[in-house]
Structure 1
Amino acid sequence: MIILSGEDATTKTKNINQLEFWISTTLYILALIGICTSTTYGSGNAYRFTENQIDYSVMRNFFLPELFKISIIYISFLLFNFCFMPQLARKNNVALNVILTVLITAVSIVTWMIANTYSEAYRLVKYDNISKAYDILFGEAFTYIFLLYLLFNCYAYFSEKGLTLLGKIQFLKNYSNNIIPEVFTITKIWLISLMIFAVIFSPKFNYELVVIWIIAPPVNIIFTFFSIYYIIPNLRKAGKGFGRYFWGNVALTTMICLLLLLLLIEFAKNGEAIPIALILTSISMICISTPLAWYLYKNKFEKQTEIQMLKTKLGKSDANLNFLKSQINPHFLFNALNTLFGTALQENAERTGEGIQKLGDMMRFMLHENTQDKISLTREVEYLNNYIDLQKLRTSRSADIRIDTHIEEQLNNLQITPMLLIPFIENAFKHGISLQQPSYIKITLQTKESTLYFDISNSIYIKADNDPEKLKSGIGLENVKQRLSFLYHGKHELIIRESANEFFVHLTLQLD
């Protein structure tokens, strides 16, 4: 499971609180706009007052009562969600916050009842006893505010402790690390929808709508999660497609709705609410939850699997690249070269000393700069020149060997991956030079702006069976092709041509 640091968790909680504040404030403003619009263009319940021969005032009997009712709900939600319940969840000042919660609830009940005595004054004349009328209005206000504020507090508590509570459910943790925050988010959305539903329909709940809203969303949520985390993965492993998944869910939906009907059969006898709720639940499970779960799985989990596979391949490529680099890092030679260089100087072997010095520079380059991701092109060219000079020392006694180089001096700030060009030159000397036969090598390197042009051609001859180079593969061109593919994808052009007498390489490289 992903664990946020203290700072990250605080930041995330702050962002969520801001979102909740602005959503609730937006809904409050919309409600105020609706009240003002009804005040200006509508008559509220004026016709009811007229029917009962009671004087009606838009301000006294509609605007002000509705304004007080919606405002007390808005203020109470903010207090419960951002002040009282967070403190109670953390067990801070428990007694004080409980007292304040009860006090706000009591004030809201009284405010709601008084507001209703004005906005629904036409109801008072229907009762013979005014005290009985007030008792009924108080009972309605108490029931509505109590249940609504209970819902507010449940939501606020779940916002604070929901992740912790869900984290204790073992079977959720066994499915996926991501399922707990997803269940937390979906549950919060459902609770928000219940609160909005309760506020919009006021105390005059439609029984059927309440039952539908309590049954349908949770069943669909559970069904969607079950499809995403169990049904679809198992079907995909078995090679089954959407058709098998769809008809399987139709059968499962039928079984679930029949089971719910058996469990709620006593409630179903008292009205049509339960059957209607189950019918709508089954329709939404088949027409909404089933395709939605498939879409979410295809676009989230299968993409995550694909990304993980790409990361694995990238890791293998990176490991392979490091291995290629390690092939050309012979650390143990460096000290031996220093010893040989000192011996050559003592014996006045200038050519030997020069060769050992150049080889030592090459070893130093490989030890210290070859491990870097990028080096200057100038250093790479120095390494190439040292290698070519060493090869010229080796072949200088043979008049039939011709080595032509046109390597521009690099005074720019271009960067290149180390040891990228040397395999081509190494390959040319390995396969293109013979101490017994006429042979040649031509090397050209130049840059124009940020583009490097590298050409090398060499003669080809058949090695004798006793030639020690015949069976040696060296680093090889395949490895350098891999490196180019990994590191300069879309930024290079490599052309290799081979005839009976010549091997030719052309490389164009876009550098940084």
Structure 2
Amino acid sequence: MLKLNESTKIELWAATGCITAALLFSITEMTINAQYMGQTWISLLFNYMVTCICYLLLVLYVDQEFKKSDKEVSIAVIFVYILINICFVIEIINAYFTALLAIKILIIYFRAKKENPKNQIYAEATLLFACSIFIHACLVLSNSINISKAFFTFIAPISIFLYLYLMYAALPHLITKSRHFLRYLGSSLLFTAVSFIPLGILLAFYFSNNNNQNIPEVLLAFNAPVQLIVHILAWNIFKFRNRRKAEEIQTLKTELGKSDANLNFLKSQINPHFLFNALNTLYGTALQEQAERTGEGIQKLGDMMRFMLQENIEDKIPLSRDVDYLNNYIDLQKLRTSTSSQVAIEIQIEEQLNNLQITPMLLIPFVENAFKHGISLLYPSHIKITLQINNSTLYFDVHNSIHLKQDNDPEKLQSGIGLQNVKQRLALIYPGRHELIIRENAKEFFVHLTLQLTENH
């Protein structure tokens, strides 16, 4: 069942009231002044009923069709415009209400959802018919000369249909052919010449009892230049739109290429950095003792290198594999810090028994940054890492102390690429699907990441 909002309901009641009031006024005036000679109140009632029906068709059908952004508009909306135009020409709908109906069509056009490319022809037809009907009604209200009114009665509708045919049927087909301009020019001249026959018959029939016998000849004289102008306009507008569409596609390709190149560069940057840190960690452990811990560290490093060589090149991997890599890195760092009683490391990472996918190496920079700046073997230090999943949302928190590097530390002057890298990757890969909060004071560093993940289907 069709649901209408309150503003539409008010509009319907107001329009129905106006049409009813106009009908009553016309019947009263006809009765008192005998102004409508040869016209009965029944014919008046019929005229206003048709007016009301046309308005209801616009509100309850045409407007609703253009509100469907995911479906193609029905071709029946064109027949509604034709019906309104014919009823106006044969004087069933008066000029005042015709102008109001044209304004309503314009409102429908500006409120229409035009996202669907298939609806472009209907949107353009709506605009053209609304303008043509409105101008025609204004000419009648201003008692303009008959030739201008006859132009909008016959030539304007034909020109509209010709333009729509050229833009959405003829030109898309001809543009793929060789010598398409010559083909288009030839078809334009042929169509213009052939159109004189049905137009001449229609004008002769319509003006058979009309005193203005020169009107058909003038309209026929206008026919050729108007149609040639329509052909020229259609050609130039079509070429302009094609050129603009090609530029938009090229721009999108360029931006996509930049994003891919940037992402690949960032991913290639991050691997040597982690290998450098891991090797430094193993080197420090080896100096401390040549025992099981060194072998365990080498095993962890081997798993990490295997991950980076095999899975880090993928766009998406199972979350469980990325978490395994994270745990290996943490275990490797624990080997280095296990000899110090002043280092407190708290890890709360849930086991991943789901089908969620994640871009590799998004989480590790925060952990690496925490161990790099948050651990000192000489002073009290702490790191707390938590990772939880709720439905398809990942919640990742890192909280660590901050210790300034010693002057002789080779990494003191190296800013690193980890955090800046992950910010760029999140912006490229998860736009609108992540929230990253980073806070820092003189002694502590906080990171909170919320990430919307997808499942592997």
TM-score by length of 2: 0.51
1:355 aligns with 2:297: yes
What is the distance in 2 between the residues matched to 1:509 and 1:471?
32
| One-letter amino acid matched to 2:424 | Q
Matches within 5 A, 1:420-499: 420-499=362-441
Counterpart check, 1:166 vs 2:166:
no
Q: Does 1:416 align with 2:380?
A: no
Q: Where does 1:24-423 land on structure 2 (aligned, <5 Å)?
A: 164=177, 166=179, 188=187, 191-192=190-191, 194-201=193-200, 208-222=218-232, 225=235, 228=236, 297=240, 301-302=243-244, 305-306=247-248, 308-330=250-272, 349-423=291-365
CA gap of 1:310–1:203, structure 2 versus 1, over 3 A, is closer
Amino acid at match of 1:166: R
> Which ranges of structure 2 fall in alignment gaps of 5 or more residues?
1-170, 205-215
Deviation at 1:310, TM superposition (A): 3.9
| CA distance, structure 2, for counterparts of residue 319 and residue 477 of structure 1 | 19
**In 1: Cα distance, 2:190 partner to 2:420 partner:** 61
The residue identity in structure 2 corresponding to 1:397 is T
1:471 CA displacement: 1.9
Q: 1:207 to 1:480 in 2, by over 3 A?
A: same
Distance 1:497 1:425 in 2: 15
Looking at structure 1, the residues matched to 193 and 176 of structure 2 have their Cα atoms a distance apart, in angstroms, of 20
Describe the shift of the 1:499–1:350 C-alpha distance in structure 2 as closer, same or farther (beyond 3 A).
Answer: same
How many aligned positions are there?
266
Q: Decide whether aligned partners of structure 1 residues 405 and 204 sit closer, same or farther in structure 2, where only a CA change above 3 A counts.
A: closer
Residue number among 500, 507, 510 corresponding to 2:442 in the alignment: 500
The structure-2 alpha-carbon separation of the partners of 1:200 and 1:214, relative to structure 1 and needing over 3 Å to count, comes to closer
5+ unaligned residues in a row in structure 1: which ranges? 1-157, 168-179, 229-292
Q: Give the partner amino acid of 1:497.
A: R
Alpha-carbon distance, 1:197 to partner? 3.9
1:348-382 CA-partner distances (Å, limit 9, x unpaired): 84221111111111111111111111111100100
1:222 partner amino acid:
I
Any idea what SS the aligned residue of 1:472 has? coil
Shift in CA distance, 451/185, structure 1 to aligned 2, threshold 3 Å: farther
C-alpha offsets along residues 113-132 of structure 1, whole Å, 9 cap, x if unaligned? xxxxxxxxxxxxxxxxxxxx
The CA distance in 2 between the partners of 1:307 and 1:163, in whole Å, is 19
Q: Deviation digits for residues 239-287 of structure 1, max 9, x if unmatched?
A: xxxxxxxxxxxxxxxxxxxxxxxxxxxxxxxxxxxxxxxxxxxxxxxxx
Aligned residue type for 1:380: D
Go from structure 1 to structure 2 and tell me whether the alpha carbon gap of 1:190 and 1:448 turns closer, same or farther (over 3 Å shift): farther
Taking the aligned partners of 1:319 and 1:430, their CA distance within structure 2 comes to: 28
Aligned with 1:440: secondary structure?
strand
1:412 is displaced (CA, Å) by 0.8
Paired amino acid for 2:404? I
Q: Write the letter of the residue equivalent to 2:415.
A: S
Q: Against the structure 1 CA distance between its residues 189 and 497, is the aligned structure 2 distance closer, same or farther, given a 3 Å change threshold?
A: farther
1:162·1:184 contact (CA, 8 Å) conserved in 2?
no
Change (3 A) 1:188 1:487: farther
Verify the 8 A CA contact 1:495 1:507 in the aligned structure 2.
Answer: yes
Shift of 1:221: 3.4
Structure 1 residues 402, 300: closer, same or farther in 2, change over 3 A?
A: same
Does the CA contact (< 8 Å) of 1:404 and 1:442 recur in 2? yes
How high is the sequence identity, in percent, across the aligned residues?
62
Question: Contact 1:406–1:444 (CA<8 Å) still a contact in 2?
Answer: yes
Cα offsets for 1:46-66 (capped at 9, x unmatched): xxxxxxxxxxxxxxxxxxxxx
Instruction: Tell me which amino acid in the other structure corresponds to 1:201.
Output: G
Match of 1:121 in 2: none
CA shift for structure 1 position 473: 2.8
| 3-state SS in 2 of match to 1:328 | helix
Find the aligned partners of 1:406 and 1:457 in 2 and give their Cα distance.
Answer: 12
Change (3 A) 1:220 1:325: same
Are residues 203 and 376 of structure 1, via their aligned partners in 2, closer, same or farther at CA, if it must alter by over 3 Å? Answer: closer
What secondary structure does 1:474 align onto?
Answer: coil
Q: CA deviation at 1:308?
A: 3.5
Q: Does the aligned pair in 2 maintain the 1:432–1:461 contact within 8 Å? A: yes
Instruction: Encode CA deviations 1:99-119: one digit per residue, 9 max, x unaligned.
Output: xxxxxxxxxxxxxxxxxxxxx
Q: Kindly provide the amino acid, as one letter, of the partner of residue 296 in structure 2.
A: E
CA offsets, 1:440-475, max 9 Å, x none? Answer: 111000111111110001101221111122122333
Q: CA deviation at 1:185?
A: 6.4
Q: For residue 204 of structure 1, report the CA deviation from its aligned partner.
A: 10
Asked if structure 2 preserves the Cα contact closer than 8 Å seen for 1:190 and 1:217, the reply is: no
The structure whose Rg is larger is: 1
Matched position secondary structure for 1:435:
coil
SS, match of residue 222 in structure 1: helix
Offset at 1:161?
8.7
CA distance in 1, matches of 2:173, 2:230: 25
Amino acid at match of 1:216: V
Q: 1:419, CA displacement in angstroms? A: 0.6
Backbone CA RMSD of aligned residues:
3.9
Q: How much does 1:402 deviate?
A: 1.4
